[in-house]
Each structure stands twice: as C-alpha cells, then as structure tokens.
C-alpha cells in the first residue's frame, strides 16, 4: 500500500455534522464551511472548534448589522457592538488557522516553489531608464522633462 502524501486527500464521502444545537445563522455558516472543503478535511475531533467558528461568525455578522443600523458612534461614544465585532473577528482569525480554512494555513511552502509563476525576463523597475536617458549622460532628467512640457 503506498504511503499517504501530504496534500493528497482521502475522501470517505461523509461530512461531519454539528453536535450541538446551533442558531440558524451559525448553522448556515457551519454547513457552508463543511461543504466548502473536502469531506475528509474535518473529523469529529474538530467539531468543537468548528462550532465555535460558526458561532463567532454569526456573532460578527450580527454585530456588523447592529453597527450598520445604529452607527459606529452612539451618543458620542463608540458603539458597544464594535467591541463585540472586534472580539468575534479575532476569534475567527485564530480558529480559521487552527481549522486550516484560512488561505495562509492551506499554503504548503514545499509545493509553492514548483507551482510559482514563471519569472519574466523583463528589466527590474530600478534597471529601467524611466526618462529615456542612458546611464552616464550628463543631462539632468528634470531638464528633459521640462523641455518636453513646454
């Protein structure tokens, strides 16, 4: 039997299901995230983190809606929803890395070199003669510009 290579997927076709009762918005986030990845991406051990991610995503969305409705400043003070949204987004950032659903956490640096874009043989910006002058000419680039503008 060949060894399992990193980056390859083994799909059983069965996706994880939520353990607890999530609110409708959180359940929608949960289903969207689970449907967006390979069925083998998550296992039962990931459920608490995944449910927490869904709850925080729903909370951040709700806070954003409240900020939109009431404004970021209420009676001359920052809205308390700003703090709710900020904390929810911080939690989402941390959880997305742990669940490997953030773009940075799905990046495999060992494969990146092989898949990188081909480098073009064009001069670097600092190697280009932006004023049409050859290196070593005595004319000041500003003088040429002002002459052409007249």
Specify the range with the lowest mean pLDDT, choosing from 13-17, 25-29, 64-68, 136-140: 136-140
What average pLDDT does range 77-91 have in this prediction? Answer: 96
Average pLDDT over the chain, rounded to an integer: 80
Residue 7 has a pLDDT of: 47
Q: Is the dihedral of CA 44, 45, 51, 53 positive or negative?
A: negative
Of 109, 67, 57, residue with least CA distance to 87 = 57
d(CA 16, CA 35): 10
For residues 6-15, average pLDDT: 58
pLDDT tens readout for residues 138-149: 556 566 555 555
pLDDT of residue 89: 96
> Domain segments of the chain: what residues?
43-109
Q: Which pTM does this prediction carry?
A: 0.64
Per-residue pLDDT for 44 more than 70? yes
SS3 labels along the chain: CCCCCCCCCCCCCCCCCCCCCCCHHHHHHHHHHHHHCCCCCCCHHHHHHHHHHHHHHHHHHHHHHHHHHHCCEECCEECHHHHHHHHHHHHHHHHHHHCCCCHHHHCCHHHHHHHCCCCCCCCCHHHCCCCCCCCCCCCCHHHHHHHHHC
- Residue 119: what pLDDT? 61
Closest CA to 33 of 118, 110, 95: 95
Residue 146 has a pLDDT of 59
Confidence of residue 107 (pLDDT cuts 50, 70, 90): confident
Interval 114-127 mean pLDDT: 65
């Amino acid at each position: 039997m060949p060894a399992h290579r990193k980056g390859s997927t083994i799909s059983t076709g069965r996706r994880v299901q939520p353990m607890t009762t999530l609110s409708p918005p959180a359940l929608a986030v949960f289903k969207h995230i689970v449907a967006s990845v390979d069925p083998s991406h998550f296992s039962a051990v990931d459920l608490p983190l995944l449910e927490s991610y869904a709850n925080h995503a729903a909370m951040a969305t709700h806070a954003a809606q409240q900020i939109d409705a009431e404004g970021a400043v209420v009676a001359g003070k920052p809205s308390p929803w700003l703090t709710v949204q900020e904390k929810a987004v911080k939690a989402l950032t941390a959880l997305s890395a742990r669940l490997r659903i953030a773009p940075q956490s799905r990046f495999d640096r060992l494969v990146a070199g092989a898949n990188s874009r081909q480098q073009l043989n064009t001069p670097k910006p600092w190697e280009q003669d932006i004023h049409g002058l050859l290196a070593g000419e005595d004319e000041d680039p500003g003088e040429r510009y002002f002459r052409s503008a007249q």
